[in-house]
């Protein structure tokens, strides 16, 4: 039974971060190492704020956790100090709570009843509780590898090793299938490896979980582009089912803006991937912010990742441009987990470290030098309006004035447009939807029989928690397809 008055006694508290001047000198995670006893006391206090609501909005529904995480249940177990049982209940719905605990923008917290009332002290720190339970699970062996009791003799190929693919692979391996994950990159993890900077999640966290998958029996093949290195015919011959978890990495470009073709103007991933590779020991990054005036265009998660990366690379200055206004003109919608109308302002740890954010501005043109390299950006003030008829957002200039700011490196972090073109899809006869994604039926099966889809490839660029939820759900669909029945959970359904 939860403590119904805990939130009256304790305010929400954030975990301590390392000093800013320390963390910009290395790539380690921004949060401070705290002695285990001190950490546990703080987290048990936060868990004690949970009221165990009759209708826990945090737990599921349109705004809460898509995984259906049993949040009030494990909050109470943590409050009582039962970390082992909390770990068991957490892993019952989430394959990778250490990923969501570090990376998820926490729709559960936005949906928490305590987030609604300003006098309540703020939402329960669910992410922090989740991450600490996961830490306990690894420290104390509460999340051991789970070998399947019986092998089914059925084979499944999972294409892509991001969070959706890994969740599907783990569920299917644990159900007894012979699962092989194919990754076209040289290392496993997809966006978790080459998109997310070390300062948000150190790669050792990913490698630790990959070790568990290997011990359970999942096989991995890296450096292999399915559809090229393994033909579609070979894939069909070797595997009884195929799961496409290929992500949605086609970056949105700014091709209509004069000067886009100048050297030094890059998509965000052209900066983040080499930076992450460099952290893995692959040598200096091809796109390096060192000694440059850096401008990041786009105010979301990926923009913040570029911002923090540029700071650590030793940029002369970092400026992030956002078309939306700065508070108080901007009405923050705390219940929304993701930038929606009228948009959510999120401040990331990277923003505390250096640089500046500019609001209600957009690029009019990129200005280059005689060698064709970008040196400045011409900005103008804008507002974002909602067209009353179409409902679409429109960006409109609010004045004639312009200004120039220095820019030797420009990073476009303005979103993703769907799945990249790939021979595999052509070979399977799969065409993309108008949203640039792979469509499927209610059983997650694409138009190619026995080929399923999940994660960003299906949903479009989204949250890590949705990727895991879709990976778990597609695993059930594949299991049912192969065996006629399944006991695996399906927390979400195709949209």
CB 143 within 8 A of CB 87: yes
The CB-of-301 to ligand SF4 minimum distance in angstroms stands at: 23
Q: Is residue 57 within the footprint of ligand SF4 (CB under 6 A)?
A: yes
Q: Is residue 106 within the footprint of ligand SF4 (CB under 6 A)?
A: no
**Residue 467 and residue 463: Cα distance in Å, rounded?**
6
Q: 53 vs 316, which CB is nearer to ligand SF4?
A: 53
**Residue 35 and residue 28: Cα distance in Å, rounded?**
17
Q: 56 vs 418, which CB is nearer to ligand SF4?
A: 56
Query: Tokens in use for 269?
Result: 């991933």
The count of other CB atoms within 10 Å of the CB of residue 260 is 16
Q: Is residue 53 within the footprint of ligand SF4 (CB under 6 A)?
A: yes
Q: 75 vs 473, which CB is nearer to ligand SF4?
A: 75
**Residue 257 and residue 253: Cα distance in Å, rounded?**
10
Q: Which residues contact 116 (CB under 8 A, 6 or more apart)?
A: 335
Q: Degrees (nearest 5) of the Cα angle 105, 107, 112?
A: 125
Q: Is residue 452 within the footprint of ligand SF4 (CB under 6 A)?
A: no
**Residue 31 and residue 38: Cα distance in Å, rounded?**
14
Q: Which string of x and - marks every residue 114-153 that binds ligand SF4 (by CB under 6 A)?
A: x---------x-x---------------------------
CB 428 within 8 A of CB 67: no
Q: 47 vs 205, which CB is nearer to ligand SF4?
A: 47
Q: Is residue 72 within the footprint of ligand SF4 (CB under 6 A)?
A: yes
Q: Is residue 269 within the footprint of ligand SF4 (CB under 6 A)?
A: no
364: three-class secondary structure by DSSP: strand
Q: 57 vs 307, which CB is nearer to ligand SF4?
A: 57
**Residue 334 and residue 347: Cα distance in Å, rounded?**
13
Q: Which of 158, 235, 180 is nearest to 471 (CA)?
A: 158
Q: Which of 42, 113, 242, 272 forms a contact with ligand SF4 (CB under 6 A)?
A: 113
Q: Which of 78, 90, 104, 112 forms a contact with ligand SF4 (CB under 6 A)?
A: 112
CB 48 within 8 A of CB 159: no
394: three-class secondary structure by DSSP: strand
Interactions with ligand SF4, residue window 320-379 (CB under 6 A): none
**Residue 385 and residue 394: Cα distance in Å, rounded?**
5
The CB-of-474 to ligand SF4 minimum distance in angstroms stands at: 27
Q: Which of 65, 71, 196, 262 forms a contact with ligand SF4 (CB under 6 A)?
A: 71
Q: Which of 40, 52, 84, 333 forms a contact with ligand SF4 (CB under 6 A)?
A: 52
Q: Which of 95, 180, 171, 219 is nearest to 479 (CA)?
A: 171
- What is the H or E stretch that residue 428 is in? helix 423-428
- Return the range that interacts with ligand SF4 (CB under 6 A); candidates 53-61, 162-170, 449-457, 482-490: 53-61
- Return the range that interacts with ligand SF4 (CB under 6 A); candidates 33-41, 47-55, 428-436, 457-465: 47-55
- Return the range that interacts with ligand SF4 (CB under 6 A); candidates 69-77, 206-214, 221-229, 349-357: 69-77
Q: Is residue 74 within the footprint of ligand SF4 (CB under 6 A)?
A: no
Binding site for ligand SF4 (CB under 6 A): 50-53, 56-58, 71-72, 75, 112-114, 124, 126
């Amino acid at each position: 039974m939860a403590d119904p008055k805990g939130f009256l006694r304790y305010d929400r508290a954030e975990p301590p971060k390392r000093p800013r001047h320390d963390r910009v000198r290395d790539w380690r995670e921004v949060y401070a190492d705290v002695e285990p006893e001190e950490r546990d006391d703080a987290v048990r206090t936060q868990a004690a704020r949970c009221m165990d609501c009759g209708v826990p909005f945090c737990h599921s529904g349109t705004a809460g956790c898509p995984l259906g995480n049993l949040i009030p249940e494990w909050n109470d177990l943590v409050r009582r100090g039962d970390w082992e049982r909390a770990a068991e209940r957490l892993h019952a719905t989430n394959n990778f709570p250490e990923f969501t605990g570090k990376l998820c923008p926490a729709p559960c917290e936005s949906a928490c009843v305590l987030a609604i009332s300003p006098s309540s002290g703020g939402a329960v720190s669910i992410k922090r509780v989740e991450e600490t339970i996961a830490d306990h699970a690894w420290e104390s062996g509460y999340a051991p590898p789970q070998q399947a009791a019986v092998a089914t003799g059925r084979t499944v190929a999972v294409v892509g090793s991001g969070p959706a693919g890994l969740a599907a692979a783990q569920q299917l391996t644990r159900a007894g299938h012979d699962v092989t994950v194919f990754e076209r990159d040289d290392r496993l993890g997809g966006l978790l490896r080459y998109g997310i900077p070390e300062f948000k999640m150190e790669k050792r966290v990913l490698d630790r979980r990959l070790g568990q998958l290997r011990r359970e029996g999942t096989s991995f093949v890296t450096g292999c582009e399915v559809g090229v290195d393994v033909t579609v015919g070979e894939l069909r011959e070797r595997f009884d089912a195929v799961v496409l978890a290929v992500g949605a990495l086609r970056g949105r470009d700014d091709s209509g803006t004069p000067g886009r073709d100048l050297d030094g103007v890059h998509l965000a991933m052209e900066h983040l991937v080499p930076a992450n590779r460099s952290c893995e020991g692959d040598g200096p990054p091809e796109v390096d912010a060192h000694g440059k005036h850096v401008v990041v265009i786009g105010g979301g998660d990926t923009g913040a990742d570029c911002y923090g990366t540029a700071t650590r690379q030793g940029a002369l200055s970092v400026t992030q441009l956002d078309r939306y206004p700065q508070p108080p003109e901007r009405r923050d919608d705390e219940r929304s987990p993701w930038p929606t109308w009228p948009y959510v302002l999120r401040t990331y740890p990277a923003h505390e470290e250096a640089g500046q954010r500019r609001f209600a501005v957009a690029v009019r043109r990129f200005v280059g030098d005689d060698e064709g390299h970008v040196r400045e950006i011409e900005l103008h003030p804008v507002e974002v309006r909602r067209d009353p008829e179409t409902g679409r957002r429109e960006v409109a200039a609010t004045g004639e004035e312009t200004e120039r700011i220095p820019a030797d490196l420009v990073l476009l972090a303005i979103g993703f447009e769907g799945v990249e073109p790939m021979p595999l899809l052509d070979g399977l006869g799969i065409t993309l939807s108008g949203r640039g994604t792979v469509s499927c039926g209610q059983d997650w099966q694409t138009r190619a029989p026995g080929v399923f889809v999940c994660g960003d490839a299906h949903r479009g660029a989204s949250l890590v928690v949705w990727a895991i939820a879709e990976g778990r759900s597609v695993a059930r669909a594949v299991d049912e397809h192969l065996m006629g029945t399944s006991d695996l959970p399906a927390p979400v359904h195709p949209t």
